Amino acid sequence: MGGGRPSAGAFRLQSMDTSTKAPIVVVGAGYVGLVTAVGFARVRDVRVVDKNEALIERLRAGNLDISEPGLQQRFEQYGKRLSFHSTLAAALINDRRQLVFVAVGTPSENRGDAFSPDRMGEAANLESVEAIVVALAGRSKTAVVMKSTVPPGTGDRLLATARESGQEFLYLSCPEFLQEGNAFASLDYPDRIVLGQESHSWATDELLALHAELHIATHTVALAVEPLIMDITGAELVKHASNLHLAMRISYANHIANLSEELRTDVDPVLKAVGMDSRIGDKFLTPGLGFGGSCFEKDIRALRFFASTRNVDTSLATCVLSINQAQVDRVVAKLERHLGSLTDAQIALLGIAFKPGTDDIRGSRALALARRLRDSGATVRAWDPEEGARKRAVDDDPSDCHSIPLDPKEMASSVDDAVKAADAVVLVTEWPSFESLSWDKIAQAMRGDLVIDGRNQLLPAEVRAAGLEYEGTGRESRGLYQPLAEVEAEV
Ligand code: UGA
């Protein structure tokens, strides 16, 4: 089925009368849903729906559960245009055309069986998505706009199922490319707007008009990027393809960093030179402890699953994931190389959020590392500058199937508390405040003298000036493999 062409006028739309427009509905008040809803509230009335009644109550009272730069401010500024509902029915309007954005989670779930253990935990769980679409199917004035990341083919399958029971409805795929910690920049300055559809309809015009209005509200000029219109499956694939590519670059950078360590050279100028090739570019080439977050690993697992069900080679996805996992193992191996057995060693972890600028700990490398260290008999003391990250890290969060929370006694009350009597400090998340740490003070508080920079954030000379030993990722590192000549020299 073809994507269909939009009307040429849609892109040139400068302003329109929105007073008669039905409020937009956004289902799912998690990270994507809430940021999207608050973003849309700049130009439209938005009804936010979430089945979590306690969350809806907190939002009605003006309390946000997530920390994202600009969210609180926009929430207050455009709050009058937002309303919160715990049922879909309460948000729907029957007599006017209405866009319903679906932004609920699609976590990994076990789909393996005894004969295909490799597929365990890889498929996307579409229960929530499907329940919403089923509830909306057959409503002729409603268009479902899918923002949740779903496996390619989902939209066509849901449409076909509805049609079998005589229900016609409009379904569009509009994948989101929000980057946590930078979400409003992703909304205000989109690199691209992707729209998947069966054919052109009023919903296409509405969606394009919405994006055009948002752009005008931000920049006072017409939308500069021409939306990319394709079929639904193609739009669904764009999301997985983008995340695989970004994650692949990170694993590539880590692969080159590991090679640099073993070759005793510095990865920074190597990757800088690589990134200067305009065909390659310099973004997402920072080596370190690897990617965390709620998206990359989950989406690559889902991609691997749907590729395997169609007999397409899955080794690229597997390789990206295994390099990423090995970065954590590599830090453990470096600690062992310096400290010997980790039994009873005390390790301070600086940074728990999966990246700076967020309190999200889903897929946190710190939690993955803490687990490995605990298994090796070490004691972990972790700290993060973001209060929300510290709180979440000790909560048993069922929405994150890849992390085991910290024990409350593993949570430090400050950097000073984390490093007290530590044998080694590992920098896990590159929070800006870590750039001004007093290494003299830290050196005095520690029992040992090892600092492992898991994000290449620190200045090695500053750390060494405090009498500490510094080891980075692909720089200032002795690697794990010791050449025979060095072994002989040591003997
Ligand atoms: C990612 C994508 O960047 C978004 O485009 C996408 O919309 C989103 O997933 C999603 O699927 O919803 P996000 O997970 O918020 O966004 O965070 P990123 O900034 O992409 O970082 C992901 C992880 O990669 C972090 O742990 C970060 O520390 C790590 N990373 C990033 C590196 O290790 N090296 C780099 O060079 C860049």
What is the three-state SS of 209-276? Answer: HHHHHHHHHHHCCCCCCCCEEECHHHHHHHHHHHHHHHHHHHHHHHHHHHHHHHCCCCHHHHHHHHHC
Q: From its phi and psi, is residue 414 left (phi > 0), alpha (psi between -120 and 50) or beta?
A: beta
Confidence (pLDDT) at 110 = 64
- Is the pLDDT assigned to residue 363 strictly greater than 80? yes
One of 174, 295, 319, 401 is an active-site residue; which one? 295
| Amino acid letter, 411 | M
Rounded to whole angstroms, the Cα distance separating 41 from 184 reads 13
- Is the pLDDT assigned to residue 123 strictly greater than 90? no
| Residues 253-305 pLDDT 10s | 999 999 999 999 999 999 999 999 999 999 999 999 999 998 999 999 999 99
Is pLDDT larger for residue 475 or for residue 121?
475
- Is the pLDDT assigned to residue 1 strictly greater than 70? no
Confidence (pLDDT) at 396 = 64
Q: Tell me the three state secondary structure of residue 291.
A: coil
Of ligand 1's listed atoms, the one at least distance from the Cα of 181 is 15
Q: Output the average pLDDT for the chain.
A: 90
Ligand 1 test: best mutation among 180, 187, 431, 456, most atoms within 8 Å of CB? 180
Q: What residues are in contact with ligand 1 under a 6 Å CB criterion?
A: 176-180, 243, 246, 250, 284-286, 288, 290-293, 295-296, 354-355
**Residues 179, 291 contacting (CB under 8 angstroms):** no
**Residues 373, 356 contacting (CB under 8 angstroms):** no
Ligand 1 test: best mutation among 355, 369, 428, most atoms within 8 Å of CB? 355
Confidence (pLDDT) at 14 = 43
Containing H/E element for 48?
A: strand 46-49
| Residues 303-337 pLDDT 10s | 999 999 999 999 999 999 999 999 999 999 999 99
Q: What angle do CA 243, 249, 255 make, to 5 degrees?
A: 135
Rounded to whole angstroms, the Cα distance separating 332 from 343 reads 12
pTM of the model: 0.92
Q: Which long-range contacts (CB under 8 A, 24 or more apart) does 263-268 make?
A: 264/478, 264/479, 266/474, 266/475, 266/476, 267/473, 267/474, 267/475, 268/456, 268/474, 268/475
Q: Is 295 a catalytic residue?
A: yes
Confidence (pLDDT) at 67 = 87
Q: From its phi and psi, is residue 38 left (phi > 0), alpha (psi between -120 and 50) or beta?
A: alpha
Is pLDDT larger for residue 430 or for residue 66?
430
| Residues 412-464 pLDDT 10s | 999 999 999 999 999 999 999 999 999 999 999 999 999 999 999 999 999 99
State the distance from the centre of ligand 1 to the C-alpha of 368, rounded, in angstroms. Answer: 17
486 pLDDT band, cuts 50/70/90, is confident
Rounded to whole angstroms, the Cα distance separating 445 from 423 reads 10
Confidence (pLDDT) at 118 = 52
Confidence (pLDDT) at 121 = 58
Confidence (pLDDT) at 403 = 67
Confidence (pLDDT) at 7 = 42
- Is the pLDDT assigned to residue 4 strictly greater than 50? no
> Can you tell me the mean pLDDT for 160-183?
94
The torsion angles phi and psi of 366, rounded to 5 degrees, stand at -65, -40
Ligand 1 test: best mutation among 36, 239, 246, 323, most atoms within 8 Å of CB? 246
The closest residue, in CA terms, to atom 34 on ligand 1 is: 286
